[in-house]
């Protein structure tokens, strides 16, 4: 097969991470190449480099025999590489036609937009893809799936030699996926080449001819799809040793039921979530990004409303309609979005530590007792070994690990009975991770019920007593500690179990 695109020794680092480590790949004319790996394996960074959205630190990109270098996605598009980004890049206030032909509308002699020609061209283009869509309608009126299809068509309309698709099916229905695949095959026959990133391994076998596996920023393997199984791919993706960073799991009898959730649903987000959490238990939630884990946690904590379902705390049904209710019941939620939702970055360590439990330090006139506050803050930074020059330092200036410890200390102040940790170690260095794990275990041993949401499988396997795996808004599987394996969890998370049984 004639080669259309070659990447040689691409590397890219961000502060603290080597996101892509000396990766090379080659793409043939009319080939559909799948790119897989766990979250953080470097797939997205690599494709952003190919698509001009990032510049590599080193390495070469060769398109049809010529070395190219892109300063922006627009450069890459002109050269013949289009990328469909995960976040939608459509303008809601403009029409379908204007979005497809953004910045290259048909124009007259005075650089005036020729509307009739624009709509006609858009109509022709859409009907070539059998899409029954009014080109005059505003994009904000389309469904998520329609928008995602439109986004892909917009990229196709630039007649790229190479089209990069990053999780293109994440918000498509089964019919829309079938439609997309059909059109990808049609374009492939016409000679277009594709790089296809996906978490849904089953899609690879439907659409791709070759697959490349990445892990920790490195190129691991390239295989013809006909020569691998899904299980092969999973073990290549995982391929890591589990260390004892997580401390020894103490065999302990679990206590009484702390939290029970019955048929919790939120339309279009998660359905029929049932689970029980016992005192002293660490219950893991595994799943891919977008599987609905965080959303379940947010609903339990009262950030988002739920459509139906019941929540019981220590055997009694409780009503939670806002976070305040949850805090009063001593349920804590430590958000995955530490900087956006979790901490008051511009405020001091002291102000952050007391934030969820202000009332404890207030006099009857609602004045804060400064002496109490200072003592408490000093005590917390010692217990949670937060490394800061003083309690008056702004949280902004702490390292990621110390920020996370600060978030933990802040919520432990409400003396919770149930704690939901959402990605507690994302962006946290190994030393601070070990301390966070230690804290988690101590709390579990003291009888707190802990839910641990994580995309880091070794972390879940190292820490949890039991793991629930979510896939597309549902709990797809439950794995007991004795059965823990990354392969099993990943296959539930990819929704594979279902296809095997079917």
Partner 1 sequence: MERVSRFFRSTVAGPLVAFLVVATFASLATPRFLQPQNLSNVSLQVATVAVVSIGATLVILTGGIDLSPGSTVALVTCTLAILVKNMGLPLPVGILLVLLLGVACGFVNGFFSTYGRIPSFIVTLATMSIYRGLAFLITKGTPIFSVSPALEPLFYGKLLGIPLPFYYVVILYALGSLFLRNTVQGRAIYAVGGNESAARLTGIAVNRSKLLAFVVAGLTAAIGGVLLTAWLNSGSPNYGAELGLQSIAAAVIGGASLVGGYGSMIATLVGALTVAVVQNGLNLLAVPASWQEITLGIVIVAAVGLDMWKSSIGRAFSKLFRQT
Q: Please give the residue ranges that form the binding site for partner 1 (CB under 8 A).
A: 53, 72-74, 77-78, 85, 87-94, 98, 102-103, 105, 107, 110-113, 115
Measured in whole angstroms, the distance separating CA 500 from the mean position of its chain's CA atoms is 25
First-to-final CA distance of the chain: 36
Closest CA to 101 of 29, 134, 150: 150
Q: Give the three-class secondary structure for 25.
A: strand
The residue (of 152 and 436) whose beta carbon lies closer to partner 1 is 152
Retrieve residue 57's tokens.
């630190």
In the bound complex, what is the minimum distance in angstroms from residue 15's beta carbon to partner 1?
A: 21
- Measured distance CA(15)–CA(187) in Å, rounded: 39
Retrieve residue 342's tokens.
């979790």
Pairing of strands 331-334, 418-422: parallel
The residue (of 140 and 328) whose beta carbon lies closer to partner 1 is 140
Alpha-carbon separation of residue 14 from 171, 364, 433, 476 (angstroms): 29, 50, 20, 35
The residue (of 68 and 383) whose beta carbon lies closer to partner 1 is 68
- Measured distance CA(261)–CA(175) in Å, rounded: 33
Retrieve residue 61's tokens.
């990109």
- Which alpha helices (DSSP H) does 208-244 contain, by range? 230-238
In the bound complex, what is the minimum distance in angstroms from residue 35's beta carbon to partner 1?
A: 20
The residue (of 74 and 396) whose beta carbon lies closer to partner 1 is 74
In the bound complex, what is the minimum distance in angstroms from residue 137's beta carbon to partner 1?
A: 12
In the bound complex, what is the minimum distance in angstroms from residue 249's beta carbon to partner 1?
A: 45
The residue (of 107 and 430) whose beta carbon lies closer to partner 1 is 107
In the bound complex, what is the minimum distance in angstroms from residue 328's beta carbon to partner 1?
A: 34
The residue (of 111 and 175) whose beta carbon lies closer to partner 1 is 111
What is the per-residue DSSP string for 28-95?
Answer: ETT-EEEEE-STTSSHHHHHHHHTTSS--SEEEEEETTEEE--SSHHHHHHHTEEEE-SS----TTSB
The residue (of 113 and 242) whose beta carbon lies closer to partner 1 is 113
In the bound complex, what is the minimum distance in angstroms from residue 352's beta carbon to partner 1?
A: 26
The residue (of 315 and 340) whose beta carbon lies closer to partner 1 is 340
In the bound complex, what is the minimum distance in angstroms from residue 149's beta carbon to partner 1?
A: 16
In the bound complex, what is the minimum distance in angstroms from residue 363's beta carbon to partner 1?
A: 39
In the bound complex, what is the minimum distance in angstroms from residue 45's beta carbon to partner 1?
A: 17
Q: Do residues 149 and 179 touch, judged by C-beta distance below 8 A?
A: yes
Closest CA to 301 of 276, 280, 281, 327: 327
Measured in whole angstroms, the distance separating CA 421 from the mean position of its chain's CA atoms is 16
C-beta atoms surrounding 416 within 10 Å: 22
In the bound complex, what is the minimum distance in angstroms from residue 85's beta carbon to partner 1?
A: 7
The residue (of 85 and 219) whose beta carbon lies closer to partner 1 is 85
The residue (of 149 and 201) whose beta carbon lies closer to partner 1 is 149
Using a 10 angstrom Cβ sphere, with 0-12 exposed, 13-18 middle and 19 or more buried, the burial of residue 251 is exposed
- Measured distance CA(21)–CA(249) in Å, rounded: 34
Measured in whole angstroms, the distance separating CA 126 from the mean position of its chain's CA atoms is 31
């Amino acid at each position: 097969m004639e080669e259309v695109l070659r990447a040689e020794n691409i590397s890219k680092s961000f502060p603290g991470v080597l996101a892509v480590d000396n990766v090379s790949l080659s793409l043939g004319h009319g080939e559909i190449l799948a790119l897989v790996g766990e979250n953080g394996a470097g797939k997205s960074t690599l494709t952003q480099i190919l698509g001009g959205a990032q510049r590599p630190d080193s390495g070469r990109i060769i398109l049809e025999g010529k070395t190219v270098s892109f300063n922006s996605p627009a450069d890459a598009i002109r050269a013949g590489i289009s990328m469909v980004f995960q976040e939608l890049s459509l303008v809601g206030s403009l029409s379908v036609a204007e979005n497809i032909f953004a910045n290259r509308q048909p124009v007259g002699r005075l650089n005036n937009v020729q509307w009739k020609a624009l709509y006609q061209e858009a109509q022709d283009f859409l009907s070539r893809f059998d899409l029954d869509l009014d080109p005059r309608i505003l994009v904000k009126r389309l469904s998520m799936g329609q928008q995602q299809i439109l986004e892909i068509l917009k990229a196709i309309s630039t007649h790229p030699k190479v089209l990069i698709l990053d999780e293109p099916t994440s918000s498509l229905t089964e019919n829309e996926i079938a439609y997309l695949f059909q059109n990808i095959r049609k374009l492939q026959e016409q000679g277009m080449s594709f790089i296809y990133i996906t978490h849904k391994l089953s899609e690879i076998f439907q659409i791709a001819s070759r697959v490349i596996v990445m892990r920790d920023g490195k190129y691991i393997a390239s295989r013809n799809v006909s020569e691998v199984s899904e299980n092969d791919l999973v073990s290549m993706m995982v391929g890591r040793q589990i260390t004892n960073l997580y401390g020894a799991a103490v065999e302990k009898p679990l206590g009484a039921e702390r939290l029970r959730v019955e048929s919790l649903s939120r339309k279009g987000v998660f359905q029929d979530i049932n689970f029980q959490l016992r005192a002293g238990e660490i219950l893991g939630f595994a799943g891919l990004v977008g599987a609905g884990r965080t959303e379940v946690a947010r609903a339990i904590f009262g950030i988002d409303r739920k459509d139906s379902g019941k929540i019981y705390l220590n055997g009694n049904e409780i009503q939670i309609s806002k976070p305040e209710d949850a805090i009063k019941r001593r349920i804590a939620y430590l958000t995955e979005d530490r900087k956006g939702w979790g901490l008051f970055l511009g405020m001091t360590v002291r102000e952050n530590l007391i934030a969820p439990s202000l009332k404890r330090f207030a006099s009857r006139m609602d004045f804060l007792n400064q002496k109490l506050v200072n003592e408490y803050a000093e005590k917390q930074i010692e217990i949670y070994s937060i490394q800061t020059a003083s309690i008056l330092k702004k949280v902004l200036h702490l390292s990621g690990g110390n920020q996370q410890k600060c978030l933990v200390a802040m919520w432990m102040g409400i003396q919770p009975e149930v704690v939901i940790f959402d990605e507690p170690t994302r962006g946290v260095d190994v030393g601070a991770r070990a301390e966070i794990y230690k804290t988690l275990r101590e709390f579990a041993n003291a009888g707190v019920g802990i839910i641990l949401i994580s995309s880091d499988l070794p972390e879940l396997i190292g820490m949890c007593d039991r793991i629930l795996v979510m896939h597309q808004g549902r709990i797809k599987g439950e794995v007991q500690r004795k059965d823990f394996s990354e392969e099993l969890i990943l296959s539930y998370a990819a929704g594979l179990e279902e296809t095997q049984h079917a």
